[in-house]
Chain A
């Protein structure tokens, strides 16, 4: 079946470090999004990126649709970056299939 897998499942970093989160998907997508879920449960849309590269401040994302993966880069990590990062994809319908998430903990 259709799958969205993320790695690593957990990541603990010192404040100021850089990180790369990976999302692999099993089929062609017509939509891929990255979300940050904060400790209070709020899901924040970071990027809508079915292909190509986008940057927003310290965050950037790249999706290589032909190779079925996407990467989220976080530079100069801050404690407020802590939380769970999800990628989610549409596979030809309106249903977003979420990955398993990467739990990021930034230590001061």
Chain B
């Protein structure tokens, strides 16, 4: 068990480009969550999956954002036509249904220039 892995750790992109982040949860965890954290704030919920089903999406997740979790294993978060306001730390977490203690990954820091 190596914890929750996120890739890449850092991403710098030009405004208007598309970016994709990957999250590998702890293998026995069937719930996977995406959060976004801006400087000086606490993380904010974006979406979560139970196995491969996406069960809840935040209003923060505009049409430019899409998340997938094929086969209920790893997940990807794609941002299309990035904007400077998308600059943030994107955090992934996983948990098991019966125990809601979350394990977070190290995050992907996105900078849109």
A residues apposed to B, CB below 8 Å: 31, 33, 35, 40-45, 48, 86, 88, 90, 93-101
**Size category, B interface:** 20 to 34
Contacts of B33 in A (CB 8 A): 94, 96
From known contacts A93-B56, A95-B56, A95-B58, infer whether A41 and B89 are also in contact, taking CB-CB under 8 Å: yes
B31 at the interface (CB under 8 A from A): yes
Interface of B is mostly: strand
Contacts of A97 in B (CB 8 A): 45
B107 at the interface (CB under 8 A from A): yes
B104 at the interface (CB under 8 A from A): yes
| Of listed B41, B89, B100, residue having the most chain A CB within 10 A | B100
Rounded to whole Å, the gap between the CB of A72 and the closest CB of chain B is 15
From known contacts A96-B45, A98-B42, A99-B42, infer whether A41 and B109 are also in contact, taking CB-CB under 8 Å: yes
Of chain B, the residue at the smallest CB distance from A50 is: B100
Considering the chains assembled together, what is the distance between the CA atoms of A72 and B109 in angstroms? 28
- Partner of B43 from the list A42, A43, A48, A93 (CB cut-off 8 Å) is A43
